[in-house]
Amino acid sequence: MAMLTEEMKTFIENNLAWVATVSKDGEPDLGPKMSTYVIDDNHIAYHERTAGQMYRNLLDGSPLVIAVANLAEKKGYRFRGTVTLHTEGEIYDAQVKVAQERGTKVPTCVPVLEVTEIQDLTPGPTAGKTIVKD
User: At 49, phi and psi to the nearest 5?
Assistant: -95, -30
Specify burial of residue 39 (Cβ count, 10 A radius: 0-12, 13-18, 19+): middle
Average pLDDT, the chain: 96
Q: What is the pLDDT of residue 134?
A: 87
Q: What is the pLDDT of residues 37-52, one digit of tens each?
A: 999 999 999 999 998 9
Question: How many Cβ atoms sit within 10 Å of the Cβ of residue 80?
Answer: 18
**Which region holds residue 124: left if phi is over 0, alpha if psi is between -120 and 50, else beta?**
left
Q: What is the pLDDT of residues 81-105, one digit of tens each?
A: 999 999 999 999 999 999 999 999 9
- The superfamily (CATH) of domain 6-122 is Electron Transport, Fmn-binding Protein; Chain A (2.30.110.10)
Q: What is the pTM of this model?
A: 0.94
User: At 11, phi and psi to the nearest 5?
Assistant: -60, -45
